Structure 1
Amino acid sequence: MGKKKNKAEAKSSVKKPAEGHADPPDAPLKAGGAESGQTAEGAYRAAAVVFFTRTDGGAVAKVLVAVEERKVKASFLGLEDKGKIEERLVVFPMGRKEKKDKNDPVETAKREYIEETLDYGSLARYLDFADFDGGGDIEATRLAPGSRVPMTWSGADNMALYFSPAGLTVLFCEVPAEEADEPGHEPPAKKQRQEETAAELLSKPKPSPSYHVGKVGHLHSVWLDAESLRTVALSKDKAPKLSLEGQDCRFFPTSASVLRLPEARKWLGVTPAS
């Protein structure tokens, strides 16, 4: 496990992510990007987190996604139906920044993940010391000094992207492979912590108009093999279909667009689009 960073170091490690251009986002995340010269912290309007694991060789192995029943316009999903339809959508936990986040996308992503998933797997803690510089040699950082034995997790093989059409900063945060060993199963201790987190969020006082807690615990978290996301990245559909836990779902257009950015395709091991 990599050296734990203090709060200040964790915040300062998020540099301005690369900008991308893809399909327009859903209505709650209106189009728009950073003004010239702004940093990512000042430009972003929302943040998302994508937890993932790697193989010993460094390739992306599993990615945590969430499923949500949502009523959306059929046209937003690229369908010919009229009006709104109910769909099971695969999303990355995300939400708008608030004043209490102090323009720190790590704080926004962490808060939204805890609120929306009840801190599934207790993974939010990895955001406290993850390094999002996005530089360095992945293969090299995964080797202990003087050893050829791969490290299971270093806390350094992460990435931050900026999806300008949505003003969205996306944090790709690696976690140890064992976190995805039992997909869909939460040990009793973790389940209890989730319930306590939900109760704390719901009972927390609202000291100012800037304080807001939206839906709590409404996302169903699932670990997906990276190959499923590669299929989404290569698809031409606005909201690609995939089967998840035996049920048909559609990938949320904004999340699918993020996976099609050149940096995300490279992260998945997909040849960047020309």
Structure 2
Amino acid sequence: MNKLRAYIYNIIPKKYRNSLGKSKVLKPLRDVFFRTKSGFRELQVPVEKCYGKYEVSFQFVSSIQIATKAKKKGIETRLLNNSIRILQQSRPRLANDYIIADVGANFGYLSLVWSQTVCNQGKVYAFEPHPNLFAAIQKSIAVNKLENSITPTNVAVGKQKGSIAISLASTTSNTKEGEVGEAQLKSKATIQMITIDEYFMDFERLDFIKIDVDGIELDILQGAEEILARLKPIVVVETNGNTDLLEFFNQRNYTILNMELNTFDMQKELPLNIFCVPN
């Protein structure tokens, strides 16, 4: 049945897909076809793509919308290609045994790609606070038999230990305070919050951190001060227009690169993501 729903979704012109939820007429139809009480209907699709010199092939479980996109053209292709390139250039290793922290893993697509490329002899630690997205990640890991390559953890990551309420109505990793609307509070979950410093305290190596959590990236970095100083991982972070991220990395002797992996010009507008490399 979900394959039929995916077919229906695919024949809807792209310019109308994004407006389904905004239309009072179309929103009920969208909810019937593409949503459930958990917020989305799951679809498992095969993914076969190339990233750098690597070919990947895996089953991907996510919402119909995201699964459709992943199968057709992949997700975060530029970020993934850049992450592979910068790891191999800045931190060359004889084996593909890199250790990566995927903070805000969402449906886990990036973790799956890394597990079959630069981490196929290493490890990806995937952090996802949303219980339903986390369940989808677990299914992808199981169906691809990647339990030894990806360690998923259903927690939020932030500045300090604690707990936080998140909306179950969305399909994002958003944990920002004040972003959970009154209507969404009817469907929420309280999730444990940890810090990168706490989780990786006993690690001797952490090569790369990806942070994409819709607005609390700086908080997460402030909870990673000790790890950044001791293990000096490369970091890619979604900026959300927050120029404080530039000062944070400059003060910690990191070089900031743009999406072309060239030194970022501080006079220019912030790109969607910045790559930060320890000097």
Per the TM superposition, whether the score is higher than 0.5 is no
Bigger relative contact order, structure 1 or 2, given CA contacts below 8 A and separation 6+?
1
TM-score (norm. length: structure 1): 0.29
TM-score (norm. length: structure 2): 0.29
